[in-house]
Amino acid sequence: MHAHSNQNQTDNGDWIGNWILAISIASGSLLVGVFVPMFLLVTLGSLLWLALIINTLVRTKRQLTDRVRIVDQSSLESTRASALLTSLIHSANIPLLSTNQDGVVLLINQRALDTLGITPAMIGLRFDEVLTQPVLNDLEAAARTGEAGHARFTLAIMGETRVFDVAADLIPFSQGAVLTFEDITELSRAMTLKADFVANASHELRTPIASIKGATETLAGPAKDDERMSARLIEMITNNANRLELLAGDLLDLSKLEAEDQLPTIKAVSICAVFDKVIAELLPNADRRGLTLVAKIEDGLDEIITDQSMLVLILRNLVGNAIKFAHENTAVQLVAKRAMVATDRTAPVPASLDRAMGLTIEVIDKGIGIPLAQQQRVFERFYQVDDARTGSGAKRGTGLGLAIVKHAARRLGGSVKLESVHQIGTTITIELPHCADAQS
């Protein structure tokens, strides 16, 4: 633009000089022509020259005006494109940061500010002053030399450790680098859980399979003609086969609960009927230990809306555990009542749950309880407290029951809480939101 301006000033000066010259010649010729008529022709030529100058100036002005308009339009479009690009960068749902050829931070988008715990004041600082992890510094420096790369690193943000996958690449025109940060914390946790799950499941399957295999080999060999030993081995095979059946059933239940495409089937359910069904199913086990199963339901509370199969699954596991670990000749209580239940944003409530009140169900036993140090882990897959691990085969479960309870409650938008005193008893509370009518 500066060069164009200088050129325009030079052109204008030339044309002004031509104007003055043409007017001077025309004026002089007109004066002389009064005395010498031939000079009138010179005057006419000067006027024609002047007309040509005027026409050229008009045409030049029009061209310059068009050129300025094109430049202004181009500048406006460039400004709009720059604003749009900046807006897109800041609207991107992934943290992004760029540096120049010296490794100085030029841009940090809004997502990076929100996610990485950095501030706009860090623009203008060197990259290694903003993020000090050596792996990131090496990645950014390599990208400025043209070597694109990926790295994974952890960052403590507001007391929580987050895992990021970082990609870095060269910005050709500036010889700087651009880095994008993808938060893969949940994916990393899921992969760890999956690996742990496979390892634990393999271990839990291997034990009964090994027992069955050993028993059958013994039956076919040394114990073939020993009726007493054969009976014991057959009982061992039966117990381990039953354990495999329980484990397969629990794994199937857990798999269904974790399948995102299998949504809860919400409909009207009688809480009395659900309690009766679970009690009838587990009463033989309770009778063998001299236990009493007691249902207590708040007056006027009968119909709720929920997924009946999930609720039965929850209660079957909780009451089954209570029967295993309650002291003999005591009672296991099932208590249901209305309550205002807070919703958990990490466990979305199914849209069809629209009642005014929530529901709490407590399963209470007087039994061996759970040591305080282990209470935070009992909802992990395959985790069993020491008493369960060292208990009899009848008491030993699959270690999946409480994990199933937790997943089922969350699929219904609810949660599970535990209170236990070692050797005194345990109360496990299920809280389900928006499934019961207000008391009339």
Q: In the structure encoding, which two tokens stand for residue 212, read together?
A: 């069955």
Distance, in Å, from the CA atom of 407 to the CA atom of 256, rounded to the nearest integer, reads 10
| Max avg pLDDT among 269-278, 338-347, 403-412 | 269-278
Dist CA 296 CA 304 (whole Å): 15
Pairing mode of beta strands 425-436, 415-421: antiparallel
Cite the beta strand spans of 355-399 per DSSP E: 357-365
284 burial via Cβ count (<10 Å: 0-12, 13-18, 19+): exposed
Give the residue among 429, 401, 249, 389 at the shortest CA–CA distance from 320. Answer: 401
Helix (H), strand (E) at residue 273: helix 271-288
Beta bridge partners of 338: 359
Mean pLDDT on 104-120: 85
With a pLDDT cut of 70, the percent of the chain lying above it is 78
Which of 74-83, 162-171, 386-395 tops mean pLDDT? Answer: 162-171
Residue 273 clears pLDDT 90, i.e. is over it? yes
Q: What share of the chain has pLDDT > 90, as a percent?
A: 27
Cβ 416 vs Cβ 407: under 8 Å: no
CA distance 440 to 300: 8
pLDDT at 27: 62
- Residue linked to tokens 């060197």: 126
Name residue 352's amino acid. Answer: S
**Does 380 have pLDDT greater than 90?**
no
The 10s digit of each residue's pLDDT in 65-105 is 878 888 777 777 777 766 666 666 666 778 888 899 999 99
Q: What is the mean pLDDT of residues 335-352?
A: 84
| Averaged pLDDT score across all residues of the chain | 80
**Position 393 pLDDT exceeds 70:** no
Q: Closest Cα partner for 138 from 154, 126, 151, 156?
A: 151
Q: What is the pLDDT of residue 387?
A: 45
Residue 364 has pLDDT above 80, yes or no: yes
Provide mean pLDDT across the span 310-327.
93
pLDDT value of position 333: 95
Give pLDDT tens digits for 215-260: 888 888 877 777 888 888 888 888 888 878 877 777 777 777 776 6
Over 90: is that where the pLDDT of 40 sits?
no
Q: What is the DSSP string of 71-90?
A: HHHHHHHHHHHHHHHHHHHH
The predicted pLDDT at position 335 comes to 95
* pLDDT at residue 45, as a whole number: 65
* pLDDT-based confidence at residue 106 (cuts at 50, 70, 90): confident
Name the more confident of 205 and 330: 330
C-alpha span between 61 and 55 (Å, rounded): 10
In angstroms, the CA 433 to CA 343 distance is 7
Q: How far apart are CA 208 and CA 350, in angstroms?
A: 39
